Amino acid sequence: MKNKDATWRMLVALLLVLGLIAAACGSDDGEDTSMSGDAEPASDAGADDDGDADDGAGADDGAGADDGAGADDDGDADDGDADEPAEDAAPALISDECPIPNPEENVEIDVIGWEFPIVVQYADELEECAEGNYTFNVQFLDSAQATEQMNLDLATGNPNFEIIQASNNVIGELANQGYLYPLNDLIEKYRDQFDLDQVDPAFLEMGSVDGNIYTIPMVSNTLHTFYNQAIFDELGVDVPDTFDELFDLCPVLQDAGYDTAYGMRLSSPSSWYIHFDSVISSLGLRSTNPDGTTNWETPEALEAVNILVRILEECSPLNGSYSVDDVQAGLQTAEIPLGYLWASRAGAMDDPEASTVVGDIAYAPALGSTPGGVRGAPAYIDGYAIPMNTRVDPELIFLAILAATDLESMNAAAEFGLVTRADATNPNAPRNALAAATSLVEGRGADSPHPAAGIARAKIGEALLTILDGVSPEDALAAAQAAYIAEATEQGLL
């Protein structure tokens, strides 16, 4: 997997622009052409959207096996031999919603990941296969706990989990340690049956290391600006586009009674790393270079950290304690008028069961340091991966993943966020598609795939978190550099 930039951005831009056109101008036509003309509304996607997903497969593989076998063997479907399958009959599929062969024996699959709306939809799609001889035990933790548990489990060499849900940076770290099962052969085997060429190559590349693909990407994600349009209209203020504009706006919002003028999670090592890399990228550098060296001793690094410190001090000290869920909830209840949140959380803004501001939240691209420059936005995918040495046949696991991420499943998931199939669409998709697409195309791109990049992310995140305890930005950066060089060198990665 290479650091892409120009080529990657062109691929993603084309994919996202085509998706926007389909969603905005042709959602009805898209449903007709991709789903046999009778697709159900997305609000019923979990139960019905896959109902006609594989009518052709069901008819050919299921009905054909029953109706044709007796006639082909004996010329008489009613002579008592109808129950004997033909030698070359296709195996029975579990259902139209889970169009994969039903295993002869029960297959129990344990899944670990972290919860947000679109991922919950994919977990529901997995459960469709429980109509057959599959059993799924899905465990959702917060992202930091889930990642820690994955590492502990996989390090044993005999993992308890058969599916891990993870983002591309975690996938890269685990793959570099030899913990994940490469999917290339299985992708080739089922490419035509599940039309896997509709998954954009740029997303597959983000889930790859050294040419080996380790995940079926199912979510495209980034961070961008969420703001309460009603509050902004009432105050007569504009949404910021740069950090300088943000710092001008924060006191105005605070004077209007909003203690948290700008919600942004800065309470964990991973959040500090993600935001640091995004801000330094908007200043023209990356946190980690393709060769594994860092830019933490540069003036740009210090400026990036100082921008994050100003967000804490001038926009809300509470950002040092917020979780992603806290920022989401603050926006949903109008307690936070402006925030920086994952694109995948946009659907929750219009959920009447959780939000008091349905229709009021608007979206803008991520902030940048200069007008027209690189935006402080990362590019991530989330997908399902299979550990090495699982107790279950990897092909059986892979088939369940394919059933949960096929076209109809992604059509349903598109109600909650950006998906990775070019042909997927949903008329009820979240309203942040343009802001998310702009952030992805004009943002920093994906994390470095260098084998030492995981150590770099951990060390810079851990060091910057100590700023909350009073450590200076200069000392935090120096500590991160020393810790990274020591560990990466000891492991022979530099």
Q: Quick: pLDDT tens for 315-329.
A: 999 999 999 999 999
Q: Which CATH class is domain 223-377+451-490?
A: alpha beta
Q: Quick: pLDDT tens for 216-252.
A: 999 999 999 999 999 999 999 999 999 999 999 999 9
Spatial CA neighbour of 106 closest among 127, 136, 137, 133: 133
Res 180 pLDDT > 60: yes
Res 331 pLDDT > 80: yes
Give CA–CA dist 285/293, Å, rounded: 12
Spatial CA neighbour of 113 closest among 163, 155, 154: 163
Q: Where is pLDDT greater, at 428 or 69?
A: 428
Q: What number is the average pLDDT over the span 308-320?
A: 97
Residues in the chain: 494
Q: Do domains 11-57+91-221+380-437 and 223-377+451-490 have the same CATH topology?
A: yes
Backbone angles phi, psi at 84, to 5 degrees: -90, 120
Up-side HSE of residue 313: CA atoms within 13 Å toward CB? 9
**Torsion of the alpha carbons at 204, 208, 214 and 215, rounded to the nearest 10:** -30
Res 211 pLDDT > 60: yes
Q: What is the pLDDT of residue 384?
A: 97
DSSP state of 89: P
pLDDT bracket for residue 89 (50, 70, 90): low
pTM of the model: 0.77
Q: Could you tell me if 358 and 352 are in contact, meaning their C-beta atoms sit under 8 angstroms apart?
A: yes
Q: Could you tell me if 380 and 222 are in contact, meaning their C-beta atoms sit under 8 angstroms apart?
A: yes
Q: May I ask the CATH architecture of the domain 11-57+91-221+380-437?
A: 3-Layer(aba) Sandwich (3.40)
- What residue segments make up the domains of the chain, in order of their start? 11-57+91-221+380-437, 223-377+451-490
Q: Could you tell me if 358 and 299 are in contact, meaning their C-beta atoms sit under 8 angstroms apart?
A: no
Q: What is the pLDDT of residue 334?
A: 98
Backbone angles phi, psi at 145, to 5 degrees: -65, -40
Res 58 pLDDT > 50: no
Paired tokens of 260:
């948290």
* CB-based burial, 56-68: b 16+ in 10 Å, e otherwise: eebeebbeebeee
Res 265 pLDDT > 50: yes
Q: What is the pLDDT of residue 7?
A: 44
Q: What is the pLDDT of residue 266?
A: 97
